[in-house]
């Protein structure tokens, strides 16, 4: 009886399957020591990514997936050391300025693109002019807005055509030197140059930008090999690279995964060498599963709950109330229990590892103290309606912590608090843009460059684009303006530290916690994977064990 | 017959236009601005948003957008994704993957489902029938994603018989596990459906006649019984082809199969109208054609049915 046998077989398989998962998880896969054996300099790795949204053009990646690939293919002028935020020259010999407005860039001579073309000052200037131009539809085009003449290639008026193809602020001196004139002083401009949008482009790019985006030619430690759409992108070590971040492995395959669970299962069976993020379902068990191959690395990003100061409820709120609500949030417990230790309680507006970070700048307002919280809210006249909403997008896993924060506020202050979920990020953003947020909303910031100005000026200046809550603080604005108008980075950082202190007098946000990468590596990787300031691994530095 | 087919084909035109219009409108009504969402947590640059809006034609009135889309479509142009790729290219990569997965699932469900159903039907009321009943109930009641994760963890991670995810979708052996998961629910339905009609038809007059004629049992079951019992099963299987292709989102997600479901999910999430409408349109066509084929198959299975 064929039927009977197959029926039994399938039934048995399911029983086995159910039983095995019920008692599963006891098999710990220990892959030997991290530094056992020798390193194979030509060994290749496979890492998790998603299909980049756009063609691989340096200024056309807003999402980290596109960046991940571009950062291996292109090198910029400078980069910064993880942890210390010190500037390190990559393609630049030097980037200098005496007045913070006129900058001179000298290149290391003899650098080549992967196709043999020499990297010159012109390669940079052409690249920036092209990327800044509205016509070319680069998503990061306004990164060049500090440069003089930017408005000619990127007019702000609706429907206006660019007046020019070049920015007047960029001048080539010779093959290895060019100058940049900015509209105003930007003391930390050289830090911005570490971002991938500032990469140079070879002449071949401008003939067919779209085709180039499918087969990019860069000046970075890896050269492009192939791109099977929605499946994988392969890059291989480029032997002609002379920069400080020369590849220590033979190449990288960026494999597309749609879910974190799928990627994690491949990691555990050694089919994948690095995952972006441990899936939420495994956060409690991954340290046992992976042993010393698990990694928790802090990086410079912060999550907070921002106040919609334009809303009726908050228009004339007393700062004491906001302070009280902030003090009612038990950050320690929530990060430990609800978030399984994947976040670190924040006590400042600037993330750690950023130049000018000062511990505890938020002070008492970010310390859990239920009695004082209640008292402050009472003194400040309470929340109108005694009910607050925290808006978030439900397409990412924000609900657990929003509920936990609300719970904390409700039990500790008696102010009713509920999560206000929007179906997806787009809808969330839409409400924020139209200024329809009821009271508070989830907000977050991942560093663009490791200087405190990035976490302050770009978010809390009353005219800053990142200020979506209608926050206004005159003292902060004045100090920020002063900090932008100095000649040296150190001075600017110091003044911004003062500006940060002014924020406590009127809290723009309730800082919650800093982010950490929760990841893991396969048994094939030699030593622990090192991470950059942005929470991305330094792919070039990954070493592979010899088989 | 010819006239019937022609009429059915003509009926497809309004259905086709209606569905594209509906999907087009629904994508448009999704909350939020897809262009601004491209900037993520960072602040969109108004000038660039404007330029991109113009590029994708979002600055035109809705009827005009739909008109442009349809005129392009009739010239065989499905439009572009936000990333600047041809939607036809994206579908050209995704559909073969999903079709392979659906075929594997379909074969598993037909072979296993009908076999189980026939044996259960012949032995109605006996232990074997009960066993099949329990098995099918179990499969129907366990959600697909639970089954998917269990299979993946047990066979992929713990036992290591297969790779947990599909690494190469052209390798049919890698598709067996996700195919089994995808086809499991329909497998159970097919088995139940076959079992019921078989046990019913066993008692019919023509069966008694065949038996009385002294025909061999193999011929009675294989030709007389099966042919008459398969009509409802074929109907189910026909509509299931479309369901397998469009409904593979969950299974594709679990096993990291980069097929139509994943593309559709991504496109809907990003509010990318061109890809969404394109894929759904093709899926609608698949449904329409399979139901036509099913209707024509009736005539083959039951000569009494005639189409004019």
Q: Work out whether the CA dihedral A343, A348, A349, A355 comes out positive or negative.
A: negative
Between residues A25 and A433, the one the model is more confident about = A433
Average pLDDT of the residues in B257-264: 89
- Residue % of chain B over a pLDDT of 90: 24
CB spacing of A269 vs B46 below 8 angstroms: no
Nearest CA in chain A to B184: A10
Does B234 score more than 80 pLDDT? yes
CB contact A396 to B (< 8 Å): no
Nearest CA in chain A to B252: A258
Given this model, what pLDDT does residue A477 score? 94
pLDDT band at residue A6, thresholds of 50, 70 and 90? very low
CB spacing of B256 vs A262 below 8 angstroms: yes
Q: Find chain A residues with C-beta within 8 A of B167's C-beta.
A: 271
Q: Nearest CA to CA, how far is A121 from chain B (Å)? A: 27
Q: Nearest CA to CA, how far is B46 from chain A (Å)? A: 7
**pLDDT, mean over chain A:** 89
Q: Are B213 and B280 in contact (CB under 8 A)?
A: no
Mutation site for B-interface testing, chosen from A6, A13, A14 by largest number of B Cβ within 10 Å = A14
CB spacing of A53 vs B151 below 8 angstroms: no
Min mean pLDDT across A25-29, B12-16, B194-198, B232-236 is at A25-29
Token pair of B189, please?
């339905």
How do residues B162-181 score in pLDDT, each as one tens digit? Answer: 888 888 778 888 889 999 99
Does A43 score more than 90 pLDDT? yes
CB spacing of A424 vs B83 below 8 angstroms: no
CB spacing of B93 vs A159 below 8 angstroms: no
Given this model, what pLDDT does residue B308 score? 57
Nearest CA in chain B to A64: B40
How do residues A143-188 score in pLDDT, each as one tens digit? Answer: 999 999 999 999 988 778 899 999 999 999 999 999 999 999 999 9
Q: Which helix (H) or strand (E) holds A180?
A: strand A177-181
Report DSSP letters for A414-442, one per residue: --EEEEEEESSHHHHHHHHHTT---SEEE
Average pLDDT of the residues in A541-547: 92
Average pLDDT of the residues in A495-501: 94
Between residues A416 and A395, the one the model is more confident about = A416
Q: Taking the mean position of all CA atoms in its chain, how far away is CA A366? A: 23
How do residues A72-123 score in pLDDT, each as one tens digit? Answer: 999 999 999 888 888 999 999 999 999 999 999 999 999 999 999 999 999 9
Given this model, what pLDDT does residue A167 score? 96
Distances (CA, A) of B227 to A519, B190, B205, B230: 56, 15, 15, 6
pLDDT band at residue B297, thresholds of 50, 70 and 90? confident
Report DSSP letters for B33-102, one per residue: -HHHHTTTTSPP-HHHHHHHHHHTTTTS-HHHHHHHHHHHHHTT---B-TTS-BHHHHHHHHHHHHHHHH
CB contact A424 to B (< 8 Å): yes
Nearest CA in chain B to A29: B158
Average pLDDT of the residues in A494-514: 94
Given this model, what pLDDT does residue A8 score? 43
pLDDT band at residue A32, thresholds of 50, 70 and 90? low
Given this model, what pLDDT does residue A12 score? 41
pTM for the whole thing? 0.86
How do residues A200-228 score in pLDDT, each as one tens digit? Answer: 999 999 999 999 999 999 999 999 999 99
Does A450 score more than 70 pLDDT? yes
Q: Nearest CA to CA, how far is A393 from chain B (Å)? A: 12
Q: Nearest CA to CA, how far is A452 from chain B (Å)? A: 17
The CA-based dihedral angle spanning residues A120, A126, A132, A135, taken in that order and rounded to the nearest 10 degrees: -150
Min mean pLDDT across A185-189, A543-547, B141-145, B227-231 is at B227-231
Average pLDDT of the residues in A289-314: 92
CB spacing of B256 vs A257 below 8 angstroms: yes
Q: Find chain B residues with C-beta within 8 A of A2's C-beta.
A: 115, 119
CB spacing of B46 vs A156 below 8 angstroms: yes
Strands A44-49 and A102-107: unpaired
Given this model, what pLDDT does residue A212 score? 94
Does A331 score more than 50 pLDDT? yes
């Amino acid at each position: 009886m064929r039927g009977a046998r197959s029926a039994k077989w399938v039934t048995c398989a399911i029983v086995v399957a159910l039983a095995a998962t019920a008692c599963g998880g006891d098999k710990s896969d220990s892959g030997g020591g991290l530094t056992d054996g020798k390193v194979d300099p030509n060994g290749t790795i496979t890492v998790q990514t998603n299909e980049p949204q756009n063609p691989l053009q340096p200024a056309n990646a807003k999402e980290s997936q596109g960046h991940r690939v571009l950062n291996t293919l292109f090198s910029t002028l400078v980069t910064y050391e993880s942890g210390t935020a010190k500037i390190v020259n990559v393609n630049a010999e030097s980037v200098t300025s005496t007045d913070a407005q006129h900058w001179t860039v000298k290149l290391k001579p003899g650098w080549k693109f992967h196709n043999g073309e020499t990297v010159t000052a012109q390669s940079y200037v052409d690249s920036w002019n092209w990327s800044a131009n509205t016509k070319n539809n680069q998503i990061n085009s306004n990164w060049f807005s500090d440069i003089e003449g930017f408005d000619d290639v990127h007019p702000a008026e609706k429907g206006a055509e660019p007046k020019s193809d070049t920015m007047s602020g960029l001048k080539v001196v010779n093959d290895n030197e060019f100058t940049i004139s900015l509209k105003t002083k930007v003391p930390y401009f050289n830090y911005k140059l570490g971002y991938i949008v500032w990469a140079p482009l070879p002449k071949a790019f401008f003939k067919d930008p779209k085709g180039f985006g499918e087969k990019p030619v860069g000046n970075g430690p890896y050269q492009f090999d192939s791109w099977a759409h929605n499946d994988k992108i392969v890059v291989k070590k480029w032997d002609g690279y002379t920069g400080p971040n020369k590849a220590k492995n033979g190449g990288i395959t960026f494999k597309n995964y749609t879910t974190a669970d799928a990627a994690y299962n491949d990691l555990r069976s050694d089919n994948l060498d690095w995952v972006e993020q441990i899936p939420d379902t495994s956060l409690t068990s991954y340290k046992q599963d992976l042993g010393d191959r698990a990694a928790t690395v802090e990086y410079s990003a912060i999550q907070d709950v921002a106040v919609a100061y334009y809303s009726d409820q908050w228009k004339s709120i007393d700062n004491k109330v906001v302070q009280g609500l902030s003090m009612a949030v038990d950050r320690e417990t929530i990060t430990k229990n609800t978030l399984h230790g994947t976040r670190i309680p924040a006590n400042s507006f600037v993330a750690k590892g950023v130049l000018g970070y000062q511990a505890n700048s938020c002070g008492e307002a970010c310390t859990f103290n239920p009695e004082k919280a209640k008292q402050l809210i009472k003194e400040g006249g309470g929340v109108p309606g005694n009910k607050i909403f925290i808006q978030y997008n439900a397409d990412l896993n924000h609900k657990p912590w929003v509920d936990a924060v609300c719970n904390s506020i409700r039990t500790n202050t008696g102010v009713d608090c509920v999560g206000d979920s929007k179906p997806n990020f787009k809808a969330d953003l839409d409400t924020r843009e139209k200024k329809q947020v009821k009271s508070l909303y989830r907000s977050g910031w991942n560093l663009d460059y490791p200087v405190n100005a990035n976490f302050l000026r770009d978010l809390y200046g009353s005219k800053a684009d990142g200020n979506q809550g209608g926050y206004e603080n005159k003292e902060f604005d004045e100090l920020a303006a002063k900090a932008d108008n100095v000649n040296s980075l150190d001075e600017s950082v110091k003044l911004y530290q003062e500006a940060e202190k002014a924020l406590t007098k009127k809290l723009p946000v309730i800082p919650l916690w800093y982010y950490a990468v929760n990841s893991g590596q396969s048994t094939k990787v030699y030593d622990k994977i090192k991470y950059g300031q942005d929470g991305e691994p330094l792919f070039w530095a990954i070493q592979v064990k010899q088989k | 017959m010819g006239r019937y087919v022609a009429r059915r084909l003509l009926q497809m035109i309004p259905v086709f236009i209606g569905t594209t219009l509906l999907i087009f409108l629904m994508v448009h009504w999704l909350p939020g601005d897809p262009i601004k969402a491209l900037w993520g947590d960072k602040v969109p640059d108004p000038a660039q948003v404007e330029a991109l809006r113009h590029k994708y034609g979002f600055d035109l009135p809705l009827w005009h957008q739909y008109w442009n889309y349809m005129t392009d479509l009739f010239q065989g142009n499905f439009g572009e994704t936000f990333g600047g790729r041809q939607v036809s290219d994206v579908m050209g990569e995704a559909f073969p993957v999903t079709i392979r997965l659906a075929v594997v699932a379909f074969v598993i469900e037909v072979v296993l489902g009908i076999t189980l159903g026939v044996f259960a039907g012949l032995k109605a009321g006996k232990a074997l029938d009960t066993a099949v009943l329990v098995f099918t109930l179990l499969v129907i009641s366990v959600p697909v994603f639970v089954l998917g994760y269990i299979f993946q963890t047990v066979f992929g991670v713990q036992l290591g018989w297969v790779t947990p995810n599909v690494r190469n979708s052209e390798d049919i052996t890698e598709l067996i596990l996700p195919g089994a998961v995808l086809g499991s629910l329909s497998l159970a339905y097919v088995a139940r459906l076959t079992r019921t009609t078989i046990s019913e038809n066993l008692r019919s007059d023509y069966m008694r006649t065949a038996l009385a004629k002294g025909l061999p049992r193999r011929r009675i079951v294989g030709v007389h019984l099966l042919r008459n019992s398969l009509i409802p099963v074929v109907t189910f299987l026909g509509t299931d082809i479309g369901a397998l292709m469009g409904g593979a989102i969950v299974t594709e997600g679990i096993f990291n199969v980069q097929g139509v479901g994943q593309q559709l999910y991504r496109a809907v999430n990003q509010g990318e109208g061109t890809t969404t409408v394109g894929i759904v349109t093709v899926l609608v066509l698949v449904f329409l054609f399979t139901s036509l084929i099913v209707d024509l198959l009736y005539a083959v299975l039951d000569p009494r049915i005639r189409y004019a």
